[in-house]
């Protein structure tokens, strides 16, 4: 018993209530909560059950008022309710209370007002009816499901009065079969739907009455019955009668499935049996029946093979003969539990089979006891080891994806069909995640690119194809920067549900790309000039040779003319011709000297590592198209060299281009560019595996205009230019090649080319 301990003058002594100790003990042991509260709703007395119902201790309850845990009624409504109870003396109602843990429960309240001597108070009984209401709701839902199942069952269903033989209710299939309405059904019997006589000669009315009476006594009956359809045609049904208990009368549920064509149904049953056997035998899961003693009564081929045996070798053997004792004990216990409790058991367990750890999902269904009295269970066991590994891999993949999304230096956005942002991995300092989520993905693009972003989003939802594009958008500090954007669909149940939008700042990449394009232009212009210069030098050399011969011949001719009698004007003309020929020869020598001197002029200090990386970057697209992998080594610690940078770029460009050209007809190839410092020289090696050069061509490769790819527009000046550049700087080049394997060019460069 709990009494309130306070200075309140209105304390209600328990003894004054006129309740003896026996009554108090009953109240304290009651399963219903009980309390006494005054006119202000303050609790003055409570029992243990109310504490258990509310979650508050008895001391806590004695400091509370009814309104403190009332949910459904407001304080004003509680006051009115107390006044109403006071006037009528008692009340009984349902409400909701909030427990100490915050949960809400349904309560049935019985309260009485007492005017006892000088005390006025209420005493209440509280009953937790949460579970009762839940069950009532489930019963209501069950009734709905029953009616739905009854009305839409794919067989004829009739609920019949076993005494009158009349139908009380009929489902849709029965109405359709008979051609009658539900109202018409209430006035007819099963005999009215039947042929006058059944196949055994018994009148339908008599036999129906007998069968209904037997079913009403608790028998479940299965039999064949002949009906007539609305057209008067005879139909045969397979009927199942089930007793259906009701409060007022004995009812019978009639379920009928038409089996007019007996041969057809027999064939169908045989086919079903064959399908069952084929399904069981071809199933890629263990299917077996095991009795309560753990003995195999049946096992399919797949299950037997998993245990390294044939089905007939396992039937009759016990679990202990096939598995370790602890595993056999555990499995037989689950089978026994399913059989004893007549329940379906589902469990996962891991075991070792032939040294391999496996995980199985096992379903156990109890089977009806057969005519020999053996109790058994049907067991389905699926090997879910791969599935478990896949799930684990998926979890790890999701974790990696989350980690990647959180740490990737890009904006990863998920948006819905309207383009509205649902989530984003990071935001600019100028925004918060709350500001961004709910806005549109194109809100952060520059004005002239918003239409492009929106159209691409719509196209992804329309076509399901990924889209890659570049656009300007808001960057750090509010300035517009370039973004490389990627849009892809996210599927849910084979339908595009959302999109993922990845944007990465590529401003620096675009700047580097623009510089690289300018560098390419510069290199290609230099290459063209080199080709022109080389061709001009060759042309000057080739012209100078005949001019020298002409000078010699004209000189000899002039000497002969002087010894012979000849007209003066002829000698004058020969002298003039000799003078002009000497002028032409002088011009070609000057031109050759100018080309040579300008080509090898030292312009800067060159870092070979930076230079080779630039050339490789410039040719990266061509190398990728030719499936060539270009690697460098040894450049990181090389000293800078004094050289004409443009000329040196030509050397690297020509040799790498030649290797890529040789790789174009191969599936995959490599080019390694190696460097090392030796004394005051730099030694470079360009080695590939592109098939090599034929021996008969190897000695000609440095000759001007020699090429094996004239059909592809090659001039044959590349290696000649390389040779001229290296000779001009006191360097050298040599080559080794093995036909069918590859080629290596070895270059020596002086560190100081003065």
Are the beta carbons of 105 and 114 closer than 8 angstroms? Answer: no
Question: Confidence band (pLDDT; 50, 70, 90) for 2?
Answer: very low
Q: Report the distance separating Cα 728 and Cα 109, nearest Å.
A: 112
DSSP letter string over 151-208?
A: HH-SSEEEEEETTT-BEEEE-HHHHHHHT--HHHHTT-BGGGGB-SB-TTS-BHHHHH
pLDDT at 478 over 60: yes
Place of tokens 């090696």: 685
Q: What is the pTM of this model?
A: 0.34
- DSSP symbols for 558-578: HHHHHHS---HHHHHHHHHHH
Q: How many Cα atoms sit within 13 Å of 643 on the Cβ side?
A: 27
Whether residue 754 is predicted with pLDDT greater than 90 in this model: the reply is: no
Q: What is the pLDDT of residue 714?
A: 54
Specify the pLDDT at position 551. 65
Burial class from Cβ neighbours inside 10 Å (0-12, 13-18, 19+) for residue 54 reads buried
* 124 touches 146 (CB < 8 A): no
What is the 3-class SS of 581-603, one letter each residue? HHHHHHHHHHHHHHHHHHHCCCC
First to last CA, the chain: 113
Element (H, E) at 549: helix 507-563
For the domain spanning 604-750, the CATH number is: 3.30.565.10
Structure token pair of residue 163: 């005494």
Give the confidence band of 552 by pLDDT, cuts at 50, 70, 90: low
Rg of the chain in Å (alpha carbons)? 51
Q: For residue 715, is it left (φ>0), alpha (ψ between -120 and 50) or beta? A: alpha
108-155 pLDDT, tens digit per residue, is 999 999 887 677 888 899 999 988 888 888 888 877 887 787 788 888
Q: Beta strand 480-492 with 467-474: parallel, antiparallel or unpaired? A: antiparallel
- Region of poorest pLDDT, from 66-80, 443-457, 558-572: 558-572
Average of per-residue pLDDT across 476-503: 90
Is the confidence at residue 263, as pLDDT, over 70? no
Class of domain 408-414+422-496: alpha beta
Minimal CA–CA distance to 421: which of 445, 404, 399, 443? 443
What percentage of residues in the chain have a pLDDT greater than 90?
21
DSSP reduced 3-state for 90 = strand
Name the least confident of 571-575, 601-605, 606-610, 697-701: 601-605
What pLDDT is stored for residue 630 in this prediction?
92
CB-based contact 367:377 (threshold 8 Å): yes
User: What secondary structure, in 3-state letters, does 335-387 show?
Assistant: HHHHHHHCCCEEEEEEEEECCEEEEEEEEEEECCCCCCCCCEEEEEEEECHHH
- 54-60-63-64 Cα dihedral, nearest 10 degrees: -20
Contact 1, 28 (CB under 8 A): yes
Q: Which residues contact 252 (CB under 8 A, 6 or more apart)?
A: 159, 160, 162, 212, 215, 216, 241, 242, 243, 244
All residues at 6 or more sequence positions from 538 whose CB lies less than 8 Å from its CB, including other chains = 704
DSSP state of 627: T
Helix (H, G, I), strand (E, B) or coil at 223: strand
Say if CB 121 and CB 96 are below 8 A apart: no
Q: List, for residues 299-355, the tens digit of each pLDDT value.
A: 998 888 888 889 899 999 998 988 888 888 888 898 999 888 888 888 887 877 767
pLDDT tens for each residue of 669-697: 999 999 999 988 899 999 999 888 888 87
Q: When comparing pLDDT for 723 and 200, which is higher?
A: 200
Start-end of H helices in 664-717: 695-698
Q: What's the confidence (pLDDT) of residue 625? A: 85
Residue 6 pLDDT greater than 70, yes or no: no
Q: Could you report the per-residue pLDDT of 653-666, keeping only the tens digit for each?
A: 888 888 888 887 67
Phi first, then psi, for residue 38 (nearest 5°) are -85, -175
CB neighbours of 343 closer than 8 A, spacing ≥ 6? 337, 366
24 burial (CB, 10 Å; 0-12 / 13-18 / 19+) is: middle
**Could you tell me which residues come within 8 angstroms of residue 654 by beta carbon, excluding any fewer than 6 positions away?**
527, 718, 719, 721, 722
Question: Encoding tokens for residue 20?
Answer: 């003896």
pLDDT number for residue 64: 92
- Per residue in 206-243, is it b (16+ CB within 10 Å) or e — as a string? ebbbebbebbbeeeeeeeebbbbeeeeeebbbebbbeb
pLDDT value at residue 3: 42
| 277-388 is classed CATH 3.30.450.20 | yes
pLDDT tens per residue, range 8-32: 434 455 555 555 677 777 788 888 9
Q: Tell me what the pLDDT averaged over the chain comes to.
A: 81
- Could you tell me which of 569, 507, 534, 575 has the C-alpha nearest to residue 725? 534
CA distance 216 to 493: 50
Fold of 14-134: Beta-Lactamase (3.30.450)
Helix (H), strand (E), coil (C) string for 391-446: HHHHHHHHHHHHHHHHHCCCEEEEECCCCEEEEECCCCCCCCHHHHCCCEHHHHEC
Specify whether domain 153-260 bears CATH 3.30.450.20. Answer: yes
- Per-residue DSSP letter, 70: B
The pLDDT score that the predictor gives to residue 426 is 83
C-alpha dist (Å) from residue 471 to 10, 125, 442, 484:
80, 73, 10, 7
Task: Please give the distance of CA 195 from its chain centroid, rounded to a whole number.
Answer: 62
Residue 525, both tokens: 């212009």
Mean pLDDT of 197-209: 89
Q: What is the pLDDT of residue 496?
A: 92
The C-alpha atoms of residue 193 and residue 165 are separated, in whole angstroms, by 12
CA distance 1 to 29: 11
As a whole number of angstroms, the distance between CA 280 and CA 244 comes to 36
Token pair recorded at residue 132: 């009762």
pLDDT at 584: 67
The answer to whether 506 and 470 are in contact (CB under 8 A) is: yes
Among residues 592, 740, 558, the alpha carbon closest in space to that of 666 is found at 740
Report whether 44 contacts 4 (CB < 8 A).
yes
Residue 291: beta bridge partners?
376
What are the phi and psi torsion angles at 485 (to 5°)? Answer: -115, 145
The separation between CA 149 and the C-alpha centre of its own chain, rounded to angstroms, equals 38
Burial class (CB in 10 A: 0-12, 13-18, 19+), 252: buried
pLDDT value of position 592: 54
């Amino acid at each position: 018993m709990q009494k309130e301990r306070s200075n309140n003058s209105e304390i209600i002594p328990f003894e004054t209530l006129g309740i003896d100790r026996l009554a108090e003990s009953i109240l304290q042991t009651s399963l219903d909560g009980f309390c006494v509260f005054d006119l202000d709703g303050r609790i003055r007395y409570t029992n243990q059950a109310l504490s258990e119902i509310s979650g508050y201790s008895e001391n806590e309850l004695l400091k509370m008022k009814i309104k403190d845990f009332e949910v459904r009624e407001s304080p004003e409504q509680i006051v009115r309710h107390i006044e109403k109870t006071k006037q009528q003396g008692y009340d009984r109602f349902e409400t909701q209370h909030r427990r100490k843990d915050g949960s809400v429960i349904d309560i049935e309240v019985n309260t009485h007002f007492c005017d006892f001597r000088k005390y006025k108070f209420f005493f209440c009984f509280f009953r937790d009816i949460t579970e009762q209401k839940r069950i009532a709701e489930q019963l209501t839902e069950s009734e709905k499901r029953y009616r739905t199942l009854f009305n839409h069952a794919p067989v004829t269903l009739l609920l019949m009065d076993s005494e009158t033989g009349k139908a009380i209710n009929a489902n849709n299939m029965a109405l359709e079969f008979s051609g009658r309405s539900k109202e018409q059904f209430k006035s007819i019997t099963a005999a009215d739907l039947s042929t006058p006589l059944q196949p055994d000669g018994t009148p339908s009315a008599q036999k129906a009455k007998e069968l209904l009476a037997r079913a009403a006594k608790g028998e479940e009956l299965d039999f064949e019955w002949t009906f007539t359809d609305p057209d008067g045609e005879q139909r045969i049904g397979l009927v199942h009668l089930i007793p259906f208990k009701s409060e007022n009368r004995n009812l019978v549920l009639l379920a009928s499935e038409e089996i007019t064509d007996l041969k057809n149904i027999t064939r169908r049953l045989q086919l079903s049996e064959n399908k069952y056997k084929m399904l069981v035998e071809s199933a890629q899961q263990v299917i077996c029946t095991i009795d309560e003693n753990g003995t195999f009564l049946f096992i399919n081929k797949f299950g037997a093979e998993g245990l390294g045996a044939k089905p007939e070798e396992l039937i009759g053997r016990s679990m202990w003969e096939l598995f370790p004792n602890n595993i056999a004990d555990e499995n037989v216990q689950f089978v026994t539990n399913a059989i004893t409790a007549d329940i379906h058991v589902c469990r996962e367990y891991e075991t070792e089979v032939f040294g391999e750890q496996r995980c199985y999902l096992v379903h156990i269904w109890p089977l009806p006891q057969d005519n020999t009295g053996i109790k058994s269970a049907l067991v389905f066991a699926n090997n879910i080891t791969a599935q478990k590994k896949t799930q684990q891999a998926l979890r790890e993949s999701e974790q990696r994806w989350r980690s990647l999304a959180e740490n990737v230096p890009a904006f990863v956005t998920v948006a819905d069909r309207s383009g509205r942002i649902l989530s984003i991995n990071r935001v600019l300092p100028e925004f918060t995640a709350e500001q961004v989520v709910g806005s549109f993905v194109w809100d952060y693009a520059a004005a002239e690119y918003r239409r492009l972003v929106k159209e691409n989003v719509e196209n992804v939802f329309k076509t399901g194809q990924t889209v890659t594009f570049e656009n300007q958008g808001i960057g750090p500090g509010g300035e517009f920067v370039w973004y490389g954007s990627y849009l892809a669909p996210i599927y849910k149940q084979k339908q595009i549900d959302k999109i993922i939008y990845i944007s990465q700042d590529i401003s620096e990449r675009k700047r580097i790309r623009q510089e690289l394009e300018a560098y390419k232009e510069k290199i290609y212009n230099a290459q063209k000039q080199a080709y022109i210069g080389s061709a001009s030098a060759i042309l000057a050399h080739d012209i100078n040779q005949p001019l020298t011969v002409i000078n010699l011949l004209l000189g000899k001719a002039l000497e002969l003319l002087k010894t012979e009698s000849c007209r003066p004007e002829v000698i004058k003309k020969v002298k003039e011709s000799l003078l002009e020929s000497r002028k032409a020869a002088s011009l070609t020598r000057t031109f050759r000297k100018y080309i040579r001197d300008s080509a090898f002029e030292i312009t800067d200090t060159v870092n070979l590592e930076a230079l080779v990386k630039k050339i490789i970057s410039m040719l990266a697209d061509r190398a990728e198209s030719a499936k060539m992998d270009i690697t460098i080594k040894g450049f990181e610690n090389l000293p800078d060299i004094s050289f004409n940078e443009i000329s040196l770029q030509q050397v690297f460009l020509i040799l790498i281009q030649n290797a890529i050209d040789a790789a174009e007809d191969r599936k995959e190839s490599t080019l390694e560019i190696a460097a090392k410092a030796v004394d005051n020289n730099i030694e470079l090696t360009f080695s590939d595996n592109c098939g090599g050069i034929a021996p008969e061509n190897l000695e000609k490769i440095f000759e001007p205009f020699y090429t094996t790819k004239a059909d592809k527009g090659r001039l044959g000046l590349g290696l000649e230019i390389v040779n001229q550049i290296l000779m001009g700087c006191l360097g050298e080049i040599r080559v080794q090649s093995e036909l069918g394997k590859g080629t290596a060019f070895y270059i020596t460069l002086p560190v100081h080319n003065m």
